[in-house]
Amino acid sequence: MFRAAGGGPRGCEGSVPARSLIREGTRRDRRSRTVQPQADRQADHDHDHHGHDHDHHDHDHHGHDHASHGHAHHGHGHGHGHVHAPASFGRAFLLGIALNAAFVVAEVVFGLASHSVALLADAGHNLSDVLGLIVAGGAHALTRRAPSRRFTYGFGSSSILAALFNAVFLLVVIGGLSWEALTRFAHPEPVAAWTVMGVAAAGIVVNGACAWLFAAGSKGDLNMRGAFTHMLADALVSVGVVLAGLLILVTGWLWLDPAVSLAVNAVIVYGTWSLLGDSTRMAMGAVPPGIEPEAVRRYLAGRPGVAALHDLHIWPISTTDTALTVHLVMPGGHPGDRALMDCCSGLRERFGIGHATLQVEVDETTACALAPDHVV
């Protein structure tokens, strides 16, 4: 049996031969030659952690070695929405936090001056926006940290948790606002329409500007999508407040305030629900949105020399990066490093899978402990 490492042209490791290992007991005559991946020396992508050999699967009980892994360490596909958010989003988070914090201060000042409980309540809501942006921005910064001995994949998964936090937090806030709107139906209160409309108009500008800051990254990064959704939701709430104020000025119908609020809240819940579902699935290690597992399986099964494959796993290691492991049965012999590199390049370019581990098995007569699929 052989072990070989391969990857894509971008950031993929080469290989060097290692000494032969002589098996003990009844397998003294079986030898395995290993080709181990060299450690990537770039400081920002130290992937030594990925040179594992699956010993935890206890394959030796079946009397055979498996080939080690083909790695495409740095290549991140751009064809399926899995793209690194650029460094400039760090400044976008800082600006968004500053704008929202300033708006909270303004609402408190005007709320106290006009004795408006509604403005003070909205200031509390917008303070939660600041918290949401801090969480998302902190996760964005963590994704850029190098892996450590303890966090061998780095800290990219924090962006998944931040997206999940923002989705849950936004739904909780909308639930509170909806409850307040329902109580207003039973106990309508006079509204200082001009003051509330003026502050709401400022909120449209502030939250709209913040949403625009994150719009570019919202399509390829779930964390950025969470921040964008949060800011856009607040802008929509402010639009609803302005509309309700205008209608109340014209008609005097106080029930329009909670009615418009509930309508806007329903739109926000509809838009947030998919974010909640995607972030929950990614936090549980599901295949990322935009990647079709069967298409990946067909691509791997169609590679030259592949007779069968099993133990295929695809999971997110951040909101932008995806990993894959698979066992390829190749009875004709090991295809060589170049073939593995080409395969990893295809995974990156076709599916956006930039961290692939390919394990080659050349002995069809020796059963793998992880075949058939889904054996854990």
Place of tokens 């290993």: 34
pLDDT at position 310 is: 94
Q: Report the distance separating Cα 319 and Cα 7, nearest Å.
A: 22
Task: Band the pLDDT of 322: cuts 50, 70, 90.
Answer: very high
311 pLDDT above the threshold of 70 = yes
pLDDT at position 88 is: 55
Task: Band the pLDDT of 306: cuts 50, 70, 90.
Answer: very high
- pLDDT, one tens digit per residue, over 106-141 is 888 887 776 666 666 677 778 878 888 898 888 888
pLDDT at position 375 is: 55
Say if pTM beats, i.e. exceeds, 0.75. Answer: no
Task: Band the pLDDT of 317: cuts 50, 70, 90.
Answer: very high
Q: How far apart are the first and last CA of the chain?
A: 23
Name the pairing type of β-strands 21-22 and 2-3.
Answer: unpaired
Mean pLDDT across the chain? 75
Name the pairing type of β-strands 355-361 and 2-3.
Answer: unpaired
Whose CA is closest to 299, among 258, 246, 356, 250?
356
Higher pLDDT, 328 or 90: 328
169 pLDDT above the threshold of 70 = yes
Percent of residues, the chain, with pLDDT higher than 90:
27
Name the pairing type of β-strands 31-37 and 308-316.
Answer: unpaired
pLDDT at position 19 is: 32
Q: Mean pLDDT, to the nearest integer, of 20-34?
A: 35
Q: What are the residue ranges of helices labelled H in 115-192? A: 117-142, 157-186
pLDDT at position 3 is: 39
Higher pLDDT, 69 or 294: 294
Task: Band the pLDDT of 180: cuts 50, 70, 90.
Answer: confident
286 pLDDT above the threshold of 90 = yes
CA atoms within 13 A on the CB side of 8: 20
pLDDT at position 45 is: 41
Environment class of 232 (CB within 10 Å of its CB; exposed 0-12, middle 13-18, buried 19+): buried
pLDDT at position 327 is: 96
DSSP class per residue in 315-369? EESSSS-EEEEEEEE-TT----HHHHHHHHHHHHHHH---EEEEEEE--TTS--T
Helix (H, G, I), strand (E, B) or coil at 4: coil
The DSSP output letter for 220 is T
- Please report, as a single letter, which amino acid is at residue 310: H
pLDDT at position 114 is: 66
Please, what are the domains in the chain? 2-78+293-361 (3.30.70.1350), 88-283 (1.20.1510.10)
- Identify the weakest region by mean pLDDT among 135-139, 310-314, 320-324, 347-351: 135-139
